[in-house]
């Protein structure tokens, strides 16, 4: 379902080849004037995903929850992995997350489940709404995660739900997966994006770079007072790691459209080139993601993530955080103001 394909004939063709099951469960909860209004939103979500399923593999989508209480909806998803931590959406001074696609396991079979904040989805019932295309894009971005999960389940058998004994390796794997996940979902969903998608990200990305050193050094100074290694490591990972992950959205989007990042996000691109602690890592980051995409679906195991993991370890060191694996599987962290 590309934006320009809207004829009745095309829609019928798309529905016929869609990978989305007609019996998919879409649960809508929250404050609606009537059950009919809630059902209308569920129907709108289904219609968009049905068409999107002609381009994305949505066969593994188990269900969708659209809720006013987004956090509770996330917590209520049965993941099937035992005592796994409750998924937490992105919420910081640079933006909030309104949708998440969770890997789940049901009776030994890996699937995916989408959870959406209803504030994002409500415009889907009104194609004339100014927020309609943004809502469509976000829904299909989450659908693209479903598609990618299916690829990962095939290429990484037994990975989800397993335990990585080394805390350092586990942390670096999470960084690498997060980076890849947002890159590929953004690349696959790019045709449905709004015209101002990149510019809407650029302001926050620029601010993240401009303030990163100040925020990072302040965090390390605070560590000298409280001494909580885990707290400091989490904060630094958020400051520096999330910078690359957030940039993955923009990078995946422009590469999905075949446009030029320097033209689409000129302030961001120029600032990266002028930032010595970031520029070399950014160039390598782009190269690794591009190489992964070139062999997408042909991977033979999680080792494909190793170049990203190694990059994140060197990048965090350049940002003042050394991760060092210990023989007992724990991870020592050392901090230095930069």
**What are 124-139's pLDDT values in tens digits?**
999 999 999 999 999 9
Kindly report the number of other CB atoms within 10 A of residue 145's CB atom. 26
Residue 336 CA to residue 216 CA, distance in Å, equals 10
Q: Is 224 within 8 Å of 155 (Cβ atoms)? A: no
Q: Are 112 and 101 in contact (CB under 8 A)?
A: yes
Kindly tell me if the per-residue pLDDT of 269 is higher than 50.
Answer: yes
Q: Minimal CA–CA distance to 56: which of 101, 104, 106, 122?
A: 101
The pLDDT assigned to 4 comes to: 47
- Name residues whose C-beta falls within 8 Å of residue 207's C-beta, 6 or more positions apart in sequence: 94
246 vs 201: CA distance, rounded Å: 8
Q: What is the pLDDT of residue 93?
A: 64
Lowest mean per-residue pLDDT among 61-65, 252-256, 288-292, 324-328: 324-328
From CA 217, how far away is CA 319, in angstroms rounded?
9
Asked if residue 224 belongs to a domain, the reply is yes
Phi, psi for 167 (deg, rounded to 5): -65, -40
Q: How far apart are CA 83 and CA 329, in angstroms?
A: 20
Residue 325 resides in a domain: yes
Last residue of a domain, one of 116, 139, 162: 162
Q: 119 with 249, same domain?
A: no
Q: Where among 162, 194, 224 does a domain terminate? A: 162
Domain boundary among 143, 162, 181: 162
For residues 271 and 139, membership in a common domain is answered with no
CB 209 within 8 A of CB 272: yes
Same domain? For 137 and 229 the reply is no
Structure token pair of residue 193: 């994006």
pTM of the model: 0.94
């Amino acid at each position: 379902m590309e934006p320009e394909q809207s004829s009745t004939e095309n829609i019928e063709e798309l529905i016929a080849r869609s990978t989305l099951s007609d019996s998919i469960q879409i649960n809508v909860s929250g404050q609606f004037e009537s059950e009919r209004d809630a059902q209308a939103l569920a129907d709108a979500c289904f219609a968009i995903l049905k068409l999107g399923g002609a381009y994305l593999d949505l066969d593994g989508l188990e269900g969708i929850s659209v809720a006013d209480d987004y956090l509770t909806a996330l917590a209520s998803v049965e993941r099937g992995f035992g005592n796994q931590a409750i998924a937490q959406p992105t919420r910081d001074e640079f933006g909030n997350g309104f949708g998440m696609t969770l890997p789940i396991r049901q009776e030994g079979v890996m699937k995916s489940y989408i959870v959406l904040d209803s504030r994002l989805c409500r415009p889907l019932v009104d194609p004339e709404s100014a927020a309609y295309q943004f809502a469509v894009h976000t829904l299909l971005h989450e659908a693209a995660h479903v598609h990618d999960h299916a690829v990962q389940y095939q290429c990484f058998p037994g990975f989800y739900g397993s335990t990585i004994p080394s805390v350092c390796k586990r942390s670096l794997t999470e960084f690498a997966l997060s980076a890849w996940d947002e890159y590929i979902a953004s690349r696959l969903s790019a045709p449905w994006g709004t015209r101002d998608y990149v510019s809407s990200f650029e302001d926050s990305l620029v601010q993240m770079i401009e303030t990163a050193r100040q925020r990072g050094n302040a965090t390390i100074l605070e560590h000298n007072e409280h001494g909580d290694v885990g707290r400091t490591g989490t904060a630094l990972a958020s400051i520096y790691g999330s910078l690359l992950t957030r940039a993955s959205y923009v990078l995946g989007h422009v590469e999905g459209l075949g446009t030029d990042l320097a033209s689409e996000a000129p302030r961001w691109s120029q600032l990266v080139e002028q930032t010595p602690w970031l520029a070399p890592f950014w160039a390598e980051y782009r190269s690794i993601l591009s190489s992964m995409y070139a062999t997408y679906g042909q991977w033979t195991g999680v080792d494909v993530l190793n170049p990203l993991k190694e990059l994140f370890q060197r990048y965090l060191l350049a940002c003042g955080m050394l991760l060092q694996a210990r023989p007992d599987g724990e991870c020592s962290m050392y901090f230095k103001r930069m």
